[in-house]
Chains A and B, each alone.
Chain A
Amino acid sequence: MRHDKAVSYAGINLNVIQNNVVKTMVETVSAAYPKKIVINKKWCKGCGICAGLCPKVLAMSNGGKAIVVNQPLCTGCRRCESHCPDFAISLKVETDE
């Protein structure tokens, strides 16, 4: 069964997910620990590098800035953070310490 239109499940936007396997994976497995992508709108110049690297989680808003569209899908790889030329995007991870 293919999902061609936006489907929402448990707050996860499945717009970008095309096949059952990935849908099942995302449904049954949740992020191991709390994390949050934080974008500094003042510093973001809308270059699109982060969204290009991670189209599932990030997108460019109408105003031309990076926005988070799917926080639950974030795996914490920090590629967005390490590739931003202006240090405008970062991942905040809650630790036990």
Chain B
Amino acid sequence: MNNVVPLTRLMQGNEAIAEGALAAGARFFAGYPITPSTEIAEILAEKLPAVGGKFIQMEDEIASMAAIIGASLAGLKSITATSGPGFSLKQENLGFAAITEVPCVVVNVQRYGPSTGIPTASAQGDIMQARWGTHGDHPAIALSPASVQEAFSLTVQAFNLAERFRTPVILLADEVIGHMRERFVMPDASDINVIDRKKPPAGLTRYYPYKPDEDGVPPMANFCEGYRYHVTGLVHDESGGPTTKADQAERLIKRLNDKIMDHLDEITMTESLMTEDAEIIIVACGAVSRSARRAVKQARKEGIKAGLFRLISVWPFPDKEIKALSRQARSIIVPEMNLGQLIGEVERVVRSETKVSGINRVTGEMITPDEILNAIKSEI
């Protein structure tokens, strides 16, 4: 009998992101090398042409973002990868992708910042930037993997959300996840769910590129497939032409926001570990959640009712879920490798329902399970 053994091997997080992109159908990468994301570019430089895709090393991260927007308008699923300094450079074009509703995936493997920072050290300092880095009112979707396996699956999910909602999606990884190596199992192709953008039917006499369907998302015609239309970062009406009319501007900006916020059931992803009866709840994401997991398990062994609520989608922030937890727990602890970015969101939602405190490490090193365990114990 033939036994099909699934591909199982030690894989690096960045490699898993590259493989996830390929599995999702990405066929265009434009980027600029930057530690600790460079492996994504290196691997896709080799693998994309092999599957008929295109890889371009651009002159900088601004051009990279512009290139992936162009490629997506031409019909290719496109991706770029960078770290903090490059993410800063991309902000203006991220806003452009948001208002022109161009699907694309932007990987930010966070490193210690600000500025050049420590290229090889980990941090979670870009959480707020992922939400508000670019100017103006815009929604944001950011996913945070906590394992190599998840780096693969969340990259696929990032593409799916980008295509589903016609929006840029940020994969907010960190240097620990990007550079670590772990056991990875390649899912069977039939187990990988891939979503493609909604397209208009051919042969329409009228195609309005920004006229939404009932779900708030306009079908997207790729360039050179039969419809010529204008794409601009200026506020535009349903035809895509610029407008300054008050009612049309409001309609566009609110639709862009509602497009995401009305579909949280399709976007929000969280993981709960032993939270059902937890009195002390850790809220964490990314590499830090790995330490939190160990701390919570250890706490339980010592009879403490601790639980972990892990954010997989960091933006949109899971208001409803955090609010519910705050009514149950008597203390919420938010460990982050920054001086406090997630905690502001937790406090905003929790208000005075329960105590909220943080563990903040900016040494470039991981927050250890013991640090979190000690914080849990001090809440008893």
Return chain A residues, CB-CB under 8 Å to B232. 77
A95 touches B239 (CB 8 A): yes
222-246 of chain B: CB within 8 A of chain A: 224-230, 232, 238-242
**In the complex, what's the smallest C-beta–C-beta distance from A38 to chain B, in angstroms?**
14
Within 8 Å of chain A (Cβ to Cβ): is B301?
A: no
CA gap between A94 and B238 in the complex, in Å: 11
Chain A residues, CB < 8 A from B227: 29-32
A28 at the interface (CB under 8 A from B): yes
Q: Which one of A34, A35, A77, A78 lies within 8 Å of B205 (CB-CB)? A: A34
Asked whether, in the complex, the Cβ of A33 is within 8 Å of the Cβ of B239, the reply is yes
Give the residue name and chain of the A residue nearest to B242 (CB): A78
Select the stretch in B206-214, B252-260, B363-371 that faces chain A.
B206-214
Q: How many residue-residue contacts, CB under 8 A, span A and B?
A: 59
Residues of chain A from 40 to 91 with CB closer than 8 A to chain B in the complex: 75-78, 82, 91
Contacts of B240 in A (CB 8 A): 32, 76
- Select which of A28, A91, A94 is within 8 A of B206 by beta carbon: A94
A6 contacts the other chain (CB 8 A): no
Asked if residues A77 and B242 are in contact (CB atoms below 8 Å), the reply is yes
- Return chain A residues, CB-CB under 8 Å to B24: none
Residue-wise interface mask of B (185-223) relative to A, using a CB-CB cutoff of 8 A (1 in contact, 0 not): 000000000000000000011111101000000000100
| 0 or 1 for each of B84-111: is its CB under 8 Å from A? (1 = yes) | 0000000000000000000000000000
Q: How far is the CA of A42 from the CA of B226 in the complex (A)?
A: 37
Do residues A32 and B208 form an inter-chain contact, with CB atoms below 8 A? yes
Given A32-B229, A76-B240, A77-B241, output 18 extra A-B contacts at Cβ < 8 Å.
A28-B224, A29-B227, A31-B228, A32-B204, A32-B207, A32-B239, A32-B240, A33-B205, A33-B206, A33-B229, A34-B205, A35-B239, A75-B230, A76-B230, A78-B242, A95-B239, A96-B208, A96-B211
Query: Counting CB contacts under 8 A, is A93 at the interface?
Result: yes
A1 at interface, CB cutoff 8 A: no
Residues of B within 8 A of A96 (CB): 206, 208, 211
A78 contacts B208, C-beta separation under 8 Å: no
What's the nearest-Cβ distance from chain B to residue A83, in Å?
A: 12
Q: CA separation between A33 and B228, bound complex, in Å?
A: 9
Q: Does A10 contact B (CB under 8 A)?
A: no
Known: A33-B207, A96-B206. A91 touches B228 (CB 8 A): no
Q: How far is the CA of A31 from the CA of B238 in the complex (A)?
A: 14
Chain A interface secondary structure, helix, strand, loop or mixed? Answer: loop
How far, in Å, is B239 (CB) from chain A's closest CB?
A: 5
Q: How many interface residues does chain A have, given as a range? A: 10 to 19
Beyond A32-B209, A33-B208, whether A78 also contacts B241 by CB under 8 A is yes
**B229: nearest chain-A partner, CB-CB:** A32
A-B contact pairs, 25 of them (CB 8 A): A28-B226, A29-B224, A29-B225, A29-B226, A29-B227, A30-B226, A30-B227, A31-B229, A32-B204, A32-B239, A33-B206, A33-B207, A33-B208, A33-B229, A75-B228, A75-B229, A76-B229, A76-B240, A76-B241, A77-B241, A91-B241, A93-B239, A93-B241, A94-B206, A96-B206
Q: Which residues of B contact A30 (CB under 8 A)?
A: 226-228
| Chain B residues within 8 Å of A28, by CB | 224, 226
Residues of B within 8 A of A76 (CB): 229-230, 239-241
Compute how far the CA of A75 lies from the CA of B227 in the bound complex, rounded to whole angstroms: 10
Which residue on A lies nearest to B206, using beta carbons? Answer: A33
Q: How far does the Cβ of A88 sit from chain B's closest Cβ, in whole Å?
A: 18
- Bound complex: CA A30 to CA B224 (Å): 9
A29 to chain B, nearest CB (A): 5
Residues on B with C-beta less than 8 A from A25 are 224
Give the distance in Å from the alpha carbon of A94 to the alpha carbon of B208 in the complex.
10
Residues of B within 8 A of A93 (CB): 239, 241
- Chain B neighbourhood of A33, CB < 8 A: 205-208, 229, 239
Contacting A34 at CB < 8 Å: which of B206, B224, B238? B206
Residues of A within 8 A of B205 (CB): 33-34
Residues of B within 8 A of A29 (CB): 224-228
Output the residue of B204, B205, B211, B228 with the most chain A CB within 10 A: B228
Query: Chain A contacts of B226 at CB under 8 A?
Result: 28-30
CB-CB < 8 A to B241: which residues of A?
Answer: 76-78, 91, 93
Which 6 A-B pairs give the minimum distances between C-beta atoms?
A32-B227, A32-B207, A32-B229, A33-B206, A76-B241, A75-B230
Question: How far, in angstroms, from A76 to B209 measured CA to CA in the complex?
Answer: 12
